[in-house]
Homo-oligomer: A and B are copies of this chain.
Amino acid sequence: MVKAVQQRTLKTRAKLLDAAQAVISESGYEAMRVEEVVLRAGVAKGTFFAHFKDKDALMDQLIGAEIDRYLDGIEALPAPKTISEMSEAMMPLITFMTCERYVFDVILRHSGAAANADIGPIAMTFGRHAEVVTKWLWDQPFRKDIPAELQAEGVQAFMVQAISLMFCSLHNSIAPHERLETYLTAWLMPAT
């Protein structure tokens, strides 16, 4: 017989998530230490790893949840009619993704999928983001020679590229917003 999940399991997990969120609110993602989290949650270190495969898995969950919140905001917006509007709509999400170098690294690591083949929260948000962009492109005056899904993949590729260059000392003179617009214009409205 398979026993149901015990009550305390949910409680402990919630305590861990709350503690982690508290630490992050105070000191940022990079500063989060597993020891600090279990201390605040009032559990042993081993318990942490009984609930999360590793520290990265917790980050995946927390950052994924945050991205989802931004996607909620993006989805509530009307479909952008211009490249500029599209870029602007994506900026709050991009701002979060770049709040810390560490956060961006975690996102990149999980954006495809974990090496171990199962899709985590962040990977899910990339799927969702592609869907949102695809919907945007449905009835817009952009290029029609390639499917909207492919266009959306390109939008993601350029979003990542624009963010990467934000952290690059050679290229951080241009505003991210402008760079993204340049990319998206060239990608979505080619003038050949």
Contact = CB atoms under 8 A, between A and B. Distances in A.
B112 A186 contact: no
B169 A161 contact: no
Question: Most chain-B Cβ atoms within 10 A of its Cβ — which of A144, A154, A166, A171?
Answer: A154
Interface stretch (A20-28, A73-81, A103-111): A103-111
Interface stretch (A8-16, A36-44, A113-121): A113-121
Contacts of A117: 169
A146 B154 CA distance: 17
Contacts of A153: 161, 183
A161 B126 CA distance: 12
Contacts of A115: 101, 167
Interface in A172-188: 182-183, 186-187
Q: Which 8 A-B pairs have the closest CB atoms?
A: A112-B168, A190-B190, A157-B161, A145-B191, A117-B169, A113-B168, A157-B157, A112-B164
14 contacts: A105-B108, A111-B164, A113-B169, A113-B170, A117-B169, A123-B168, A127-B170, A143-B192, A145-B186, A145-B192, A150-B183, A153-B183, A154-B186, A157-B157
